[in-house]
């Protein structure tokens, strides 16, 4: 085993050796500019790009021409929101989203608010799901876009994307989804699900960092976007700049592998995740699952451990590379906004751990992780007077605390 054990696959993934192999020639031998139309170097690069475009399109049920390459999902999210907002400004200034989107969506929305757009943040239930009926009720004649994430990157919850897509179609409103975490884990089909724009990223699916794509529907309806980057008219004018050929080849290969291995890999990840959760629950009480019990990513487990201190918990498990429910801001430890919005109290949020499993996670690593989590939490609770009181049956909510000044 390699330490620390990597269980943070929602943050990023290593490049699959098969992906790296596919990329290698494009750094040195096939180095042409895909926009060079006058010679073999350019043609070869362009042909490889078009092959990758087809690989990306194929996995989500799109047509090649509907795929635009970007620098990653942050750019894709920005291009979808800002690009639609600018293009459809005449039609309206209202956008609907959720409060637990990735920051790439929330910060782009905040930017648009400063430019006079109105954003509705729909409520989410205690699992982090948006209701299609709430989407319907929020749509007004001024609504130009609905953006709801496919799968949440912290709690793994899946949204009812097909139902939301159906509402948007009925109402004639464009529908964007950030599908970064869902791609390669669960089937995504832009036709069946009524998706008009979709963001994805290579480095979350065993491709390289700094490359992603935006799907932009061409038919029923044809979606138009104002570009954010100007210069040269690459990518049908929607995203200028010399194409990152090796990155794009890597993204295409990563998508191709995902299509080939998804069913088997997701079943394996689901089994390992259940093993981890069962192993934790078998030995510890007062542990709480965050996110939906079944409508969730197969590789995600997000758990709150009551009666421990968040920082001590992380410090005690340095052998595990996991993510905590506390976000360090410059001055203080803020609980995750996602956990807050689904109603997890501040204390529990600080003791929440996100386990993200992936392609290279082994049974042996999960066994080790169970043992590490159980022993760390047990040790911390032995030192906790609160846990002791709770075990003795004291109702902590009704205790009169006095402070010594």
Ligand X SMILES: *Cc1c(COP(=O)(O)O)cnc(C)c1O
Residues forming the site for ligand X (CB under 6 A): 72-74, 102, 104, 149, 153, 178, 180-181, 201, 203-204, 212
CB of 147 to ligand X, least distance (A): 11
Residue 221, classified by CB atoms within 10 Å of its CB into exposed (0-12), middle (13-18) or buried (19+), is exposed
CB of 390 to ligand X, least distance (A): 35
CB of 19 to ligand X, least distance (A): 15
Strand partners, 353: 303, 324
Q: How far is CA 46 from the centre of its chain?
A: 30
Nearer to ligand X, 88 or 150 (CB): 150
Which helix (DSSP H) or strand (DSSP E) does residue 121 occupy? strand 118-121
CA dist 7 and 138 (Å) reads 38
CB 215 within 8 A of CB 33: no
Nearer to ligand X, 44 or 299 (CB): 299
CA distances from 357 to 11, 20, 97, 114, 366 (A): 11, 21, 28, 38, 9
373: closest CA among 317, 306, 289?
Answer: 317
CB of 76 to ligand X, least distance (A): 8
State residue 214 phi and psi, 5-degree precision. -125, 125
Nearer to ligand X, 62 or 202 (CB): 202
CA dist 265 and 177 (Å) reads 23
Nearer to ligand X, 310 or 356 (CB): 356
Nearer to ligand X, 129 or 381 (CB): 129
Q: Which residue's C-beta sits nearest to ligand X?
A: 72
CB of 56 to ligand X, least distance (A): 14
CA distances from 179 to 62, 141, 222 (A): 14, 27, 20
Catalytic, out of 40, 328, 329, 397: 328
Nearer to ligand X, 72 or 316 (CB): 72
Query: Torsion-angle region of residue 241: left (phi > 0), alpha (psi -120 to 50) or beta?
Result: left
296 Cβ contact partners less than 8 Å away, ≥ 6 residues apart: 151, 155, 156, 157, 158
CB of 69 to ligand X, least distance (A): 12
Whether 328 is catalytic is yes
268: closest CA among 362, 153, 180, 368?
Answer: 362
339: closest CA among 127, 165, 176, 161?
Answer: 127
Catalytic residues: 328
């Amino acid at each position: 085993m390699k330490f620390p054990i990597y269980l943070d696959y929602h943050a990023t993934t290593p490049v699959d050796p098969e992906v790296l192999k596919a990329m290698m020639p494009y750094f040195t031998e096939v180095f042409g500019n895909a926009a060079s139309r006058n010679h073999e170097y350019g043609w070869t690069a362009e042909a490889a790009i078009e092959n990758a475009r087809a690989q990306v399109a194929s996995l989500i049920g799109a047509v090649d021409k509907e795929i635009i390459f970007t620098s990653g999902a942050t750019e894709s999210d920005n291009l979808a929101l800002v690009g639609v907002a600018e293009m459809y400004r005449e039609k309206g200034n209202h956008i609907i989203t959720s409060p637990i989107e990735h920051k790439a969506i929330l910060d782009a929305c905040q930017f648009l608010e400063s430019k006079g757009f109105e954003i509705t943040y729909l409520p989410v239930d205690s699992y982090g799901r948006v209701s299609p009926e709430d989407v319907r009720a929020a749509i007004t004649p001024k609504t130009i876009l609905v953006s709801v994430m496919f799968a949440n990157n912290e709690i793994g919850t899946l949204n009812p994307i097909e139902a939301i897509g159906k509402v948007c179609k009925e109402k004639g409103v464009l529908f964007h989804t950030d599908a970064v975490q869902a791609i390669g884990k669960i089937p995504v089909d832009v036709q069946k699900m009524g998706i008009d724009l979709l963001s994805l990223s290579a480095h979350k699916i065993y491709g390289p960092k700094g490359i992603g794509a935006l799907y932009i529907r061409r038919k029923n309806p044809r979606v138009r976007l104002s570009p954010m980057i100007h210069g040269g008219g690459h990518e049908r004018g929607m995203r200028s700049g010399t194409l990152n050929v090796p990155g794009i080849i890597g993204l295409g290969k990563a998508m191709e592998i995902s299509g080939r291995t998804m069913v088997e890999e997701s079943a394996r990840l689901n089994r390992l995740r259940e093993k981890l959760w069962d192993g934790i629950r078998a030995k510890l009480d007062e542990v709480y699952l965050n996110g939906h019990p079944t409508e969730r990513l197969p590789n995600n487990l997000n758990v709150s451990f009551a009666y421990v201190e968040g920082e001590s918990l992380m410090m005690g498990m340095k052998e595990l590379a996991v993510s905590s429910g506390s976000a360090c801001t410059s001055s203080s430890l803020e609980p995750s906004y996602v956990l807050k919005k689904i109603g997890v109290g501040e204390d529990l949020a600080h003791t929440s751990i996100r386990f993200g499993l992936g392609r290279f996670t082994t049974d042996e690593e999960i066994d080790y992780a169970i043992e590490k989590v159980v022993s760390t939490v047990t040790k911390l609770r032995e030192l906790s007077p609160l846990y002791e009181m709770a075990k003795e049956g004291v109702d902590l909510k009704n205790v009169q605390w006095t402070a010594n000044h």
